Amino acid sequence: MAGDSWHGLRAGDQIGNLEYLVDEAVLAQYRQLVGSEGCFPNLMAEDSRAMLERHAAGAPLTTVWQRLDFLRPPVVGRRIQVGGWAREIRGKCGRTWIKTAAFAVDEIGTEILRSEAAFAAGREQSQPVTMDKESPEIAVSGHLAHGQAGDGGLLGRLRLPDSDRLREYRALANKMARCEMGNDGNGLSSVTAGWLECLLGAEFGEDFRWGGRLSIAFHREVWPGAELICDGVVMGHDTDPGGVETRRVAMSVRDAADCRVATAEAVVQSPSPRLI
């Protein structure tokens, strides 16, 4: 309903702002902890979760969905400034569902990222949500950047941080967010999102980092130390009169037990109009 609120926050209200500096040392530490080259620690959709947790003094939140529009790669050494606001707040099934929007710019005003995210507030999940087995198998047929509809295959594997690495990762995220962030009800969603960004960057290069879009739905909690496997397939491929190709890529992330933990969709234009 229109009057729903959460800790005094209503739809249309600003949820806060963040500012942090990423230098070469922080970048190297982040990539070592995540285990993926190419990721940039802009906190991904954790930006909005950090602002909400600061607003509500650490109230538990589960990341359900996020959409990320990558406008340009951040410049190492420039401060990043993030602002966000609540787009929708509603109660359902005893929990509060919050949809947010945010944008990130660097210190000279260059747009880095726009994002939307959805969170479930209230009691945390007591156990993972069980999903169906994987969708039909995907045959490996080449790189996605040059693929036609139906082409795809295995994109990569990732072992999530465990023990000491996990503590270091959380300490780094808390330092950047300037708050003690709680446990995400869907596990290390920011690491998973950063990894998917890295995989798409490896496939599409600068075309993805200058204008690509990534949407992720989280279905199941992942545990520290778990191995994740990601498959991708080109679901659509179009070429406009100017020769710009647009590909829509579906991605499925599963764990070692072959249970789906996340699904994602990416839209990439090659060459990116932002680079023309």
The proportion of the chain whose per-residue pLDDT surpasses 90, expressed as a percent, equals: 45
Q: Nearest to residue 124, comparing CAs of 49, 184, 190?
A: 184
Using pLDDT thresholds of 50, 70 and 90, give the confidence band for residue 234. Answer: very high
Mean pLDDT of 69-91: 91
* Highest-scoring range by mean pLDDT, 1-15, 29-43, 124-138: 1-15
Give Cβ neighbours of residue 7 (< 8 Å, ≥ 6 apart).
Answer: 55, 56, 59
- What pLDDT score does 11 carry? 95
Q: Give the residue-averaged pLDDT of 22-37.
A: 78
CATH topology of domain 5-275: Thiol Ester Dehydrase; Chain A (3.10.129)
Contact, 73 vs 209, CB < 8 A? Answer: yes
pLDDT over 90 (residue 254): yes
Q: What is the pTM of this model?
A: 0.88
Question: What percentage of the chain exceeds 70 in pLDDT?
Answer: 87
pLDDT digits (tens, 9 = 90+) for 143-190: 688 888 888 889 999 888 887 888 888 888 888 878 788 778 777 888
Between these two residues, 74 and 246, which has the higher pLDDT value? Answer: 246
Tell me whether the omega of the peptide bond preceding residue 271 falls within 30 degrees of 0, making it cis: yes
The reported pLDDT for the residue numbered 233 is 94
2-9 long-range Cβ contacts below 8 angstroms, 24+ apart = 4/89, 4/90, 4/91, 4/96, 5/89, 6/56, 6/89, 6/96, 6/98, 6/121, 7/55, 7/56, 7/59, 9/52, 9/55, 9/56, 9/86, 9/89, 9/98
User: Does residue 35 have a pLDDT over 60?
Assistant: yes
Q: Please tell me which residue, 117 or 221, carries the higher pLDDT value.
A: 117
Task: State residue 123's pLDDT score.
Answer: 59
Q: Which residue has the higher pLDDT, 139 or 27?
A: 27
Higher pLDDT, 250 or 152: 250
Mean pLDDT over 199-210 rounds to 90
For the chain, give the mean pLDDT. 84
Q: Amino acid identity of 76?
A: V
Average pLDDT over residues 95-113: 93
114-138, pLDDT tens digit by residue? 999 999 997 554 443 333 333 333 3
Q: Render pLDDT for 85-103 as a digit per residue (tens, 0 to 9).
A: 999 999 887 789 999 999 9
**Whether 133 contacts 258, CB under 8 Å:** yes
Q: Are 9 and 89 in contact (CB under 8 A)?
A: yes
276: how many CB neighbours lie within 10 A of its CB?
Answer: 9
Give DSSP secondary structure letters for the chain. Answer: -TT-EETTEETT-EEEEEEEE--HHHHHHHHHHHT-TT---S-TTHHHHHHHHHHTTS--EEEEEEEEEE-SPPPTTSEEEEEEEEEEEEEETTEEEEEEEEEEEETT--EEEEEEEEEEESSPPSSPPP-PPP-S---B-S-GGGPPTT-EEEEEEEEPP-HHHHHHHHHHHHHHHTS-----TTSSHHHHHHHHHHHHHHHHTHHHHTT-EEEEEE-S---TT-EEEEEEEEEEEEE-TTS-EEEEEEEEEEETTS-EEEEEEEEEEES-GGG-
Give the C-alpha distances (Å, rounded to integers) separating 52 from 16, 86, 206, 241: 8, 9, 32, 44
Task: Report which of residues 39 and 180 the model is more confident about.
Answer: 180
